[in-house]
Structure 1
Amino acid sequence: MKTMDWDFNNQVILITGGTGALGSKVSETFLDFSPKAIIITFRSETEMQELRTKIFDRRNKEQKENHHTLIEFMKADITHEDEVKKLISNILEKFDQVHVLANVVGGYIGGKSVSESSEEEWDKMMLINLKSAFLISKHVLASMKKMHFGKIVHVSSATGAKANGNDSAYAASKAGLIRLVESMAEEVRGLNININCILPTIIDTESNRAAMPTANFSTWIPPEELAKVICFLSSEDSKVITGVALPTRGTS
């Protein structure tokens, strides 16, 4: 159930990486607000089918208030510019515009010092966490500039603001994302386009629990809470917020 009455009516929402542990919660939360359309990108067919089934099972059980929202799944690897171009072209051909981009694509490699880290690991973090954000922002912004409206939210990390050691590639890529957000926000200032990112600590997902089974899960951030923050930053209630890296550390 939605906790705020954010208005996404007649808006087209693009969620990149929208089938993962966090992305699926973001997709479901946006659905609560009945936008015109939600486009969800994916790479894993299994994750896509799981989310599709969950969404349509939920629709069948609930009232029909959000049944007018068109949901489209589009396969895309946004680390490749040709795929990003094709994705945005397909969306604009069908819907004319993108009002909101929630980019949830990202990954983590850590547990090694700089001297132990490989060039391949470094390049992978830059590709997944930074190049992907650059490419999808670049091609979405072109259409947002034309209509003088848009909201972009990226997922960086608390580690991007203050590194803890043994995660240099991850920390550098997430720090780069913060600077990218700040720079882009300045470039479009005055065009009614807001660009921000959030800085979560550890997100409470099954994969993180499996990787750190002895950790105190109560201090981790529930993905559904982060999804609400992303929706807020995508709404008109956040119109005075831009170029911000918002800490989302929780209260534990």
Structure 2
Amino acid sequence: MNGKVIVITGALGALGKVVVEEARARGARVAAIDHAASQLPATPDHVELGGIDLTDTAQATAAIDKAAAHFGRLDALVNIAGGFVFETVADGDPKSWQRIYALNVMTALNASRAAIPHLTASSAARIVNIGAMGALQAGAGMGPYAASKAGVHRLTEALAAELKGKVTVNAVLPSIIDTAANRSSMPTADVSKWVKPKELADVILFLASDAASAVTGALLPVNGRV
């Protein structure tokens, strides 16, 4: 990853922070985009773009263009921005489906569309999306989330076909990620079986690396020990 320019969305969240740290530790230059406010001043190797609503096409495009301008190019995009809701179909709110679709699918779509003109100028361009094992077969209460992540899976496949030979496009499909929020919501769970953020970051950064040049259109399960 040494010297590569990577845009990471959702970069100030639980998983995003770890991916940023790991990417920088491997020598990458990182543009960290998030809805939350920026926390650090820009440097030649790192820039944070906070307060960005990636569900808005114009904001997404402006942020990606600013990242490209800061570094002079883009080599990879990691779409981590997203959201989660747990509610049944009968008792839930249809607005939840619209909100989660926007957070999970439209953020990835808007960032990818904005990044494509920059990525196609790179000799080793990558897009990595975050899908979900839970989208392969949805359980009770998982309808909105699973449907939106299934959309991310199909987006990944379509982009991989459209950009073949120019940009590799893949998705990781984690099971439950070991985050503070998940521990709080599932206090009796056996967290030893969950995927650690660093484990997932390692897979994401592999797909963003030169070593994954022959992999595109893959939906890669990251199951932890479940």
TM-score bin, normalised by smaller chain: over 0.9
- The letter of the residue matching 1:227 is A
Q: Give the secondary structure class of the aligned counterpart of 2:171.
A: strand
1:138 to 113, 130, 150: 113
1:44, distance to aligned residue in structure 2 (A): 2.2
1:73 to 38, 48, 52: 48
- The alignment's C-alpha RMSD in Å is 1.7
Q: After alignment, is 160-169 or 22-31 more displaced?
A: 160-169
1:229, distance to aligned residue in structure 2 (A): 0.5
- The letter of the residue matching 1:101 is L
1:116 alignment partner in structure 2: 91
Q: For the residues of structure 2 that align with 1:172 and 1:134, how far apart are their CA atoms?
A: 15
Equivalent residues of 1:202, 1:220 under 8 A apart: yes
Closer, same or farther: CA 160–69 of 1 in aligned 2, 3 Å = farther
**Cα displacement string for residues 210-237 of structure 1 (whole angstroms, at most 9, x for unaligned residues):** 1111111111111111001101000111
2:80 to 104, 108, 128: 104
1:31 alignment partner in structure 2: 24
2:208 alignment partner in structure 1: 234
2:71 alignment partner in structure 1: 95
Equivalent residues of 1:34, 1:69 under 8 A apart: no
- The letter of the residue matching 1:138 is R
Q: For the residues of structure 2 that align with 1:184 and 1:148, how far apart are their CA atoms?
A: 17
Equivalent residues of 1:197, 1:246 under 8 A apart: yes
1:141, distance to aligned residue in structure 2 (A): 1.1
Equivalent residues of 1:31, 1:69 under 8 A apart: no
Q: For the residues of structure 2 that align with 1:83 and 1:90, how far apart are their CA atoms?
A: 10
Q: For the residues of structure 2 that align with 1:20 and 1:104, how far apart are their CA atoms?
A: 9
Q: For the residues of structure 2 that align with 1:43 and 1:186, how far apart are their CA atoms?
A: 30
Number of aligned residue pairs: give it: 224
1:240, distance to aligned residue in structure 2 (A): 1.1
User: Gaps spanning 5+ residues in structure 1: where?
Assistant: 1-7, 54-67
- The letter of the residue matching 2:57 is E
1:159 aligns with 2:138: no
Q: For the residues of structure 1 that align with 2:140 and 2:123, how far apart are their CA atoms?
A: 41
- Computing the radius of gyration from Cα coordinates, the structure with the larger value is 1
Question: Percent identity of the aligned residues?
Answer: 32
2:11 to 18, 36, 42: 18
User: Gaps spanning 5+ residues in structure 2: where?
Assistant: none
Q: For the residues of structure 1 that align with 2:123 and 2:162, how far apart are their CA atoms?
A: 13
Runs of 4+, deviation exceeding 4 Å:
none
TM-score between both structures, scaled by the size of structure 1? 0.84
Q: Give the secondary structure class of the aligned counterpart of 1:77.
A: coil
1:148, distance to aligned residue in structure 2 (A): 5.0
Q: For the residues of structure 1 that align with 2:207 and 2:6, how far apart are their CA atoms?
A: 13
1:216 alignment partner in structure 2: 190
Closer, same or farther: CA 149–235 of 1 in aligned 2, 3 Å = closer
Give the structure with the higher percent helix. Answer: 1
**Cα displacement string for residues 36-73 of structure 1 (whole angstroms, at most 9, x for unaligned residues):** x211012223xx53xx59xxxxxxxxxxxxxx961111
- The letter of the residue matching 1:181 is T
**Cα displacement string for residues 73-105 of structure 1 (whole angstroms, at most 9, x for unaligned residues):** 111221111111111221222223210111111
